[in-house]
Chain A
């Protein structure tokens, strides 16, 4: 069975500082990796995804993530955060499995940007 670990439940950071939100996964097969963002009392919105090819993936709002197969990680980064980035961020992993749908979400990281 696959699992997703988001290592930090809360991350406070000052405005214009860089941030990294960490995500590790476990899966014995090839995977697709996603980062979603959720603003308060709203649904989730895709930030970026890795399917294949270049391990550095660029997404919306200036975010990027790097797939590291040897470390089974997919950390999300932004070089300079804004107040509007305050939200909860979810890492998700899909791995192929016979006869079932397996998209697993992490428990989320709440990013708080401090003015």
Chain B
């Protein structure tokens, strides 16, 4: 089955630690995205990547970093600089960056800072 996988489903972090969230897709999509979802806030874009070895900041990139070394993988690192990291994180992909493309979402990772 083609789709997007995210791991882990639940993640707990102590303050001051960096953590990396995994996102893998086998849809052969060029574009990938990371969103943060907080209750009542909708989705906010953290980073996006149009192609391998290229990525751009979204609206709330501070305290986060990404890499895109392979087409199918787009890991997100939540650094200790992110002041309020507890949230639900969603990864998505689309065939290209053009606006008419449908985004396909993974099941999400729920991060809790203890």
A interface footprint on B1-30 (CB within 8 Å = 1, 0 otherwise): 000100000000000000000000000000
**Cβ–Cβ contact B108 & A108, under 8 A:** no
Q: A51-B100, A94-B99 are in contact. Are A44 and B105 (CB under 8 A)?
A: yes
Contact residues in B for A106 (Cβ distance below 8 Å): 42
B63 within 8 A of A: no
Q: How many residues on the A side are at the interface (Cβ–Cβ under 8 A)?
A: 25
Q: Which residue of B48, B90, B100, B107 is within 8 Å of A49 (Cβ)?
A: B100
Min distance, Cβ A9 to any Cβ of chain B, angstroms = 7
User: Which of B92, B103, B107 has the most A CB atoms < 10 Å from its CB?
Assistant: B103
Q: Which residue of B40, B43, B44, B105 is within 8 Å of A45 (Cβ)?
A: B105
**Cβ–Cβ contact A95 & B102, under 8 A:** no
**Cβ–Cβ contact A49 & B102, under 8 A:** yes
Q: Which residue of B42, B97, B104, B108 is within 8 Å of A105 (Cβ)?
A: B42
Contact residues in B for A72 (Cβ distance below 8 Å): none
Min distance, Cβ B54 to any Cβ of chain A, angstroms = 12
- Which residues of A are interface residues toward B (Cβ below 8 A)? 4, 9, 32, 34, 36, 41-46, 49, 51, 90, 94-96, 100-103, 105-108
